[in-house]
Amino acid sequence: MSDPVSRTILLLGIERYSDRDDVEQAYLRRMLYDITDRVLAGAGIDETLRLRADRGDCVRELIDANASVPALLRALLTEVPAQLRAVNRMASGSAQIRLRGVVACGYVAIDEHGWRGSDLDRACRLLDAGLLRAALRERRGDFALCVSEGVHVGIVRHDHAGIPAADFHEVTVDSESGPLKAWLHGPVPDGATGREDHCVTGAGGAPVPGASGDGPAPGRTSPSAPTPSVGGVVVDFNGGAPGFGGGIVTGDRHGVSGGHVTGDVHLGGTGGDAA
């Protein structure tokens, strides 16, 4: 058994990772590693001071306790948004990448089987918290960062240059071991309760199978997305021929952009033959 050692814990997770196909996931992971490496290098944290673990949709970094935490926070607050803008500017809709981040500190035991420790467990709960997911979902930007109570007490509340204390807001997340206090950078999501209830629900509160709890994957349509409309008129593509309002077109039709409509298309009225 290895003795626990003091480390700074950095976690970065990809929004809606499980909703992507294998090709998209491979691309997003490459982008995640590249962004993480650039940010840590910008913070002056050499590779010899880091230990990485891959968790599919997220990356975990254990950073030597002697590395500068203020430098890490400044890099996260400035470099991560800049890197995400640069990547997403050139990416297709389905390859857009948005990240949740957590910075914590504590003791972690490292052995041949992996990492363990209650401080690491709490950091992971923060990354997976519904509150952090909601914060990212409601933002126009592509990054949401949360820090542990220890990082806030030791670093953030002292208002170091480039780390405005006023931009962090106290939140509470429910966990298996009880309420977990943390500090969210940026606005707290509307109606946030701190509960770790991530499931997406449909009509009547029923869970949506396979939903990840984040917003719709970029470039994709949510299963519960509202019915589209044209000029304020509802266009229903979910049950039979689409109705628009104002006439009828019979037979199959091909759109100029490659679309194909099969069957009669009713353009309003109460049905019947066209005039």
Q: Are residues 38 and 149 in the same domain?
A: yes
Q: Are residues 11 and 133 in the same domain?
A: yes
Q: Are residues 25 and 106 in the same domain?
A: yes
The closest alpha carbon to 137, from 74, 183, 186, 78, belongs to 186
Query: Which residues are within 8 A (CB) of 228 and not within 5 positions of it... i.e. 6 or more apart?
Result: 234, 235, 237
Domain count, the chain: 2
210 assigned to some structural domain: no
The closest alpha carbon to 118, from 102, 106, 132, belongs to 106
Residue 115: CATH number of its domain: 3.30.70.1230
Pick the residue with more confidence: 256 or 43? 43
Q: Binning pLDDT at 50, 70 and 90, where does residue 68 land?
A: very high
Q: Are residues 129 and 18 in the same domain?
A: yes
Q: Are residues 141 and 264 in the same domain?
A: no
209 assigned to some structural domain: no
Q: Are residues 186 and 248 in the same domain?
A: no
Which DSSP string do the residues of 89-104 spell out, in sequence order?
A: HHS-GGG---EEEEEE
Q: Are residues 58 and 130 in the same domain?
A: yes
**Residue 59 belongs to what domain range?**
5-198
Asked if pLDDT for residue 197 goes beyond 50, the answer is no
262 assigned to some structural domain: yes
Q: Which DSSP symbol is given to 16?
A: T
Pick the residue with more confidence: 231 or 47? 47
Asked if pLDDT for residue 232 goes beyond 60, the answer is no
Q: What is the pTM of this model?
A: 0.71
Q: Are residues 168 and 239 in the same domain?
A: no
Dist CA 239 CA 8 (whole Å):
53
Quick one: pLDDT at residue 176?
Answer: 76
Pick the residue with more confidence: 175 or 95? 95
Asked if pLDDT for residue 204 goes beyond 90, the answer is no
The closest alpha carbon to 183, from 236, 131, 115, belongs to 131
178 assigned to some structural domain: yes
Dist CA 105 CA 8 (whole Å):
4
214 assigned to some structural domain: no
